[in-house]
Amino acid sequence: MNSFTSVTDVVNPRALVESALQIKKLPYAYATLGTNKTIGLFFFNSSLRTRISTQKAAMNLGMNSIVMNVGAEGWMLEFADGAVMNGSAVEHVKDAAAVMSLYCDVIAVRSFPTLTNKTEDYQELVLSQFVTYATVPVVSMESATRHPLQSLADVMTMKESQRSSHPSQRTSQPKVVLTWAPHIKALPQAVANSFAEWTLALKYDLTITHPEGYELNTDFTEGATIEHDQHKALEGADFVYVKNWSAYTDYGAVLTTDPSWMLDEQKLQHATNARIMHCLPVRRNVELSDELIDGPRSLIYTQAENRVYAAQAVLKEILESS
Ligand code: CP
């Protein structure tokens, strides 16, 4: 693997999930693989889990890490090719990425969508310019349309849970439900897109439920069942992934904050064995009830824990191929 920006960069996603699960058992088995190698973690947006778990993953592999909040601390970057830079942007990504590549053996980037310019966001302007102009592998720590490190941790968590939990989850085809949840702000589609992309690539039985108007880009959901009745969608679910996203068609819009879409225990009366997932951060009692987050169904902290091993599996593969 050279760069890691989506599931399509991974030759064998199942093998990568297995690698992450093995690394979780022996986190320091490759503690010298990254000796004298440096990863630069460059953030255009806030982060708790991605920043700490990716840095921890690098440390477990013996890598040095440099973290920079580019959005807040760095020069404002220009991303448009051929731009006449007489505005507020001080440095072109062409120069920044080339120079970062002189300091780092791997560049990891987190960027968010504008949620106003659909074309620019879905062309992945920021991430694709780093991939183009960096001369070292680039890892997405969430981009405008995808969050592949999160999704790898998510599928790893489901696989791990299937192996260790209730017999119904040991079936090769658990029912996975991605349910939209209310939120007070317009959030990216990235986590939902990526979760759908990874689960479908790994041949999970995926149902997506959301209010009318919240249809995701079909490039990511081809093969999933779309069910607008949340109660019906949840019936017999083995894994329920809760996430808000803003509208794709009416791009970036918050069409409803209907609290009846919040997931709580009562909604799971016909999904006795369902385990609950969320990528965090979560708005408690808006997206998900306290009882579910803090209760025995929750896999939420395991997902966060597995972010370390997912990142470690990706970095290991990149280090081994470079
Ligand atoms: N899930 C996730 O990416 O969390 P952060 O935004 O805190 O990194």
Q: What angle do CA 115, 280, 158 make, to 5 degrees?
A: 110
* Interval 115-137: pLDDT, tens: 999 999 999 999 999 999 999 99
pTM, full prediction: 0.97
Q: Give the three-state DSSP class for 178.
A: strand
> Which residue puts its alpha carbon closest to atom 3 of ligand 1?
50
Give how far the C-alpha of residue 115 lies from the chain's centroid of Cα atoms, to the nearest Å: 17
User: Quick check: CB of 140 below 6 Å from ligand 1?
Assistant: no
Token code pair at residue 42: 């460059």
Mutate to test the pocket of ligand 1, among 43, 67, 279 (most ligand atoms within 8 A of CB): 279
Question: Which residue's entry shows tokens 């016909």?
Answer: 270
Q: 144: CA distance to ligand 1 center in Å?
A: 14
> Which residue puts its alpha carbon closest to atom 7 of ligand 1?
48
Amino acid 105: pLDDT = 98
For the chain, list residues with pLDDT below 50.
none
What domains can be seen in the chain, in order of their start residue?
A: 7-146+307-321 (3.40.50.1370), 150-304 (3.40.50.1370)
Amino acid 170: pLDDT = 58
